[in-house]
Structure 1
């Protein structure tokens, strides 16, 4: 895949490898268990591509949707390369990474409140990364981060998605990440190249990683100062530090 734009601030070593988001060392002795919540028009395509692109030996993607028929349909579509969680609690407790793609701010807020409830009742023994990919207002991200941080061993990042459903179907999306560095490094290799072609890193300010619903779909790559390219090869699903 050709590179459209790379900042001159990108280190030469990163340009040589094509992957500035290097994989951090990890205390886990196993690959990441990834989960996905929200199987709407875009979410189902992203989840499908992550499931189908999982490397040999990687844990099966765990998926959840309030409408169970959508979950069952996707499990059949990917020929068993995903499995359904029976509850939100199961999804949160079994996964190292939980990716959400939901309808609107109200739904997102309710779901993250549920995550907090589950983790308060059953605290996580190992780090968990929550990745919010829904289209919502920039002001929501810090609120979600504050709520999820009330429980230990949690990390929150935003991953705004740029691209219509046809791009999602072709794994041609652009993901704009914001949040803690190590969490971004881990999730970047889950998302690209499995579900997208490029990662844009906007630092740790969560509000920068989220476009408002009125502008998100129209913003282009050239409006962002730094492009971090993940090469188009199969993800290894490395564990998070």
Structure 2
């Protein structure tokens, strides 16, 4: 029996978010430069997107490039942008074949024009797909997102479109770049780092966090299954007691 067969399909996380970490370190361990790691990380993306779609995961968010990553060496940033454009161009037919819809969150204005063109074309070409929603976080950081949301709320209050007394948690969620998606239930970070690194800080409030030492270029479906099985073994209480959760489950199954 494979790991996949031990997953309870009825209790899958609706939304999985992944911090794809370790490309550079993996490349260094191979005696190569960092771009070599990013290139091989693309194969992991393909594999995990395919695995998520096969299981029936509804939303998969991948942290591909943070606003802080713009401060990396120029050759690495330009190489990453070229890799991004090339990958998107090649993957759209596969996304369509597998009924996967692409979304992007982040400060798109910072991306090169070539990347913006390819992304906008890919978003349009996959917009009718109804399967897995693949959300790419590009030039994204949670603090950028929250500041942006607060600015837009302030604008609408000034314009009389919104009363300050009506602002609630739901209001803030509507101004986030993830307003069309449910919050992640499972967040996976590869490569042995135990940080969230400015990723979906508001949305991960009740997510289960899973950390693995596996470098991203080595992360495959079996690793994803392990994370999901670990998730399914946890009791998600949302501030309630274990007894309350058990009573809810008994009522739901009665």
The structure with the largest alpha-carbon Rg is 2
TM-score (norm 2): 0.37
Larger RCO, structure (CA 8 Å, separation 6 or more) = 2
TM-score (norm 1): 0.38
- Higher helix proportion: 2
